[in-house]
Amino acid sequence: MCWFNRKGPSGFSGASTAEEVTAGVDARGLVAVITGASSGIGLETARVMALRGVRVVMAVRNVAAGHRASEAIRAEIPGAGIHVLEMDLSSMDSVRRFATEFEALNLPLNILINNAGIMTRNCTRSMDGLELQFATNHIGHFLLTNLLLENMKRTSSETGVEGRIVNVSSSAHFVTYPKGICFDKVKEPSRFISLIAYGQSKLANILHSTELSRVLKEDGVNISANAVHPGVVTTNLFRHRTIINALVKSIGRFIHKTVEQGAATTCYVALHSQVTGISGKYFSNCNLDTPSSQASNAELANKLWEFSSKIVSS
């Protein structure tokens, strides 16, 4: 029996699939935006959300791949409500265009799943001049969340249904500088620093959830914000890191989750009634978990929020 078969207080485990943790959920009438929804756990998340009745907006960098994915979902789930919109998270202009195009659909927004992510071999820059992993994994999602938040607030107020924001992080948030996020270090051009930068971006996902949850509570709105660790899943995330990719392919079948299992925690936190009213937390294997001490640092979360706000407003 795999270690992740052990069930937690939720009644689910790391071996649970996205379909299993949402069994019996009727989410008809809800609308969700999912980033990185054309492949991997993002695609499985979109499929299961659609299966439960959610109208899904797939935010994808590769529109052709997004349409192929949406057609596959419709073939399996006749009548599924799926929209495909282009968005490159590494470009703030692209994120803003997506937000404008989404608003043009005149849809409410109940659920935002910030799922997309990249891992690079070297520290490279985004078109906005930021370290690419930090730009894509955090800044793009930070900006997207800010741009869609008024819609979510309006939707939750008008419907009385709790809005949910889910940031997909990973256990890589433990791999960072001793003092947390050191923004002046991510420019150093080495593969080791690139790995550290990836860890910082994943730490940022959790800190974003923490501070966003505080802000939402302070505003008195019915929206939760949580971070999830999907587990180690065999996807194309590691395609730019040759050694890691080789290890994934050779031993992954023994220690890694399937895509169906990897999407479970995201779907659980986005849809399950057990999570109602819970905000600012970190989940793994469909249960509450404890992240690193840095990820629980409220001062660091506030510092990151202010730093990110300056970037997206500059």
295: domain CATH number is: 3.40.50.720
Dist. CA 133–CA 103, nearest whole Å: 27
pLDDT of amino acid 172: 80
Dist. CA 88–CA 57, nearest whole Å: 15
pLDDT of amino acid 154: 98
To 5 degrees, how large is the angle CA 203–CA 209–CA 211?
Answer: 100
- Taking the CB of residue 242, how many other CB atoms lie within 10 A of it? 10
33 sits in which H/E element = strand 31-35
- 154-179 pLDDT, tens digit per residue, is 999 999 999 999 999 998 877 665 55
pLDDT of amino acid 83: 98
pLDDT of amino acid 240: 47
Find the domain containing 182 and state its range.
3-313
- Catalytic residues, by residue number, are 198
Q: Tell me which residues of the chain have a pLDDT lower than 50.
A: 1, 183-189, 238-241, 249-254
Structural domain tally of the chain?
1
Nearest CA to 204 out of 231, 173, 230 is that of 173
pLDDT of amino acid 174: 72
